[in-house]
Amino acid sequence: MVQPCIITVAITGSLPRKENNPAVPIRVSEQIESTHEAYEAGAALVHVHVRNDDQSTTSDPDKFAAFLDGVREYCPDIIVQFSTGGRSGTGSERSGMLQLRPDMASLTTGSCNFPSSIYENSPALIRRLAETMNEYGVRPEIEVFDLAMLYNAAGYLDEGLLSGPLHVQFVLGIKHALPARRDILEFEVAKLAQLMPDATWVAAGVGRYQLDVNRWSLEMGGHCRTGLEDNVRWDKSRLAASNAELVARVADLCGDYGRTVATPAEARAILDLQDRSAGSPW
């Protein structure tokens, strides 16, 4: 059976942009507003990095806390996923916000090169992040930038550091990591089905590949990620107007592939997350 499509919106990245789009929300109040608009447009999951007002990166738990409070007020059932990505801090700073118990957090299960840096995730750091997520009941989203990361995740599942079913994101189109090619995504999805048949998956295409990867994911039965973290343009001719605009584009596409847009409640059921809609305690 084809599942409804969970639309993830990645509202704010962790790098100041060369081609800055003023629609990228920076302040927490802007992030909350942008998330609310994206939620109204069909997003069921929000992935977030926080920034200082001067746009520099931070992993300040107070900003994550303020974001969580605001989002839970305006869109209480959206799935909130914090980034523990490497650009937001080093070592233990990367897990300092997990005690806030967001629904999910990203967990990259290996290292690779990025355009001008190393995305470093040592085995010790991965283990510490996973253990902290387990401690606070935070579900990981496994970030796969290279094939070894998928096999590492399967290994952590086998040894019990991670528990299934896992939600895995394939990231395509970052220079020096995997290119955005459909045959690569097909191979990854096939390996995922062999390794962890009960896993769910989403794919993210960075920059100009965002829309292509959305289409492939819809056709192949996966879930979709969009948003200004990954891509700030609508097309060659103009910048994207908002996160909501990018979400609406994916929502519109779903029907072309016989998919419906997952509501937050449907997304929570698909991802085996606690239902937040019935007035359950935070």
Q: Among the candidate windows 83-91, 119-127, 140-148, 189-197, which touches Zn ion by CB under 5 A?
A: 83-91
User: Which amino acid, residue 105?
Assistant: A
Q: With binding defined as CB under 5 A, does residue 12 bind Zn ion? A: no
Q: What is the DSSP string of 204-229?
A: EE-GGGHHHHHHHHHHHT-EEEESTT
Q: Among the candidate windows 69-77, 81-89, 130-138, 158-166, which touches Zn ion by CB under 5 A?
A: 81-89
Q: How far is the CB of 59 from Zn ion (least distance, A)?
A: 12
Q: Which of 157, 158, 155, 182 is nearest to 170 (CA)?
A: 182
Residue showing the smallest CB distance to Zn ion in the complex:
83
| Contact residues for 192 (Cβ-Cβ < 8 A; gap 6+) | 150, 168, 199, 201
Q: Which of 58, 83, 82, 55 is nearest to 71 (CA)?
A: 82
Q: With binding defined as CB under 5 A, does residue 83 bind Zn ion? A: yes
Q: Among the candidate windows 17-25, 37-45, 80-88, 191-199, which touches Zn ion by CB under 5 A?
A: 80-88
CB 24 within 8 A of CB 242: no
Q: How far is the CB of 37 from Zn ion (least distance, A)?
A: 19
Indicate the residue among 83 and 210 with the shorter CB distance to Zn ion.
Answer: 83
Q: How far is the CB of 280 from Zn ion (least distance, A)?
A: 27
Q: Among the candidate windows 66-74, 77-85, 248-256, 272-280, which touches Zn ion by CB under 5 A?
A: 77-85
Measured from the Cβ of residue 151, the count of other Cβ atoms closer than 10 Å reads: 14
Q: With binding defined as CB under 5 A, does residue 8 bind Zn ion? A: no
Binding stretches for Zn ion (CB under 5 A)? 83
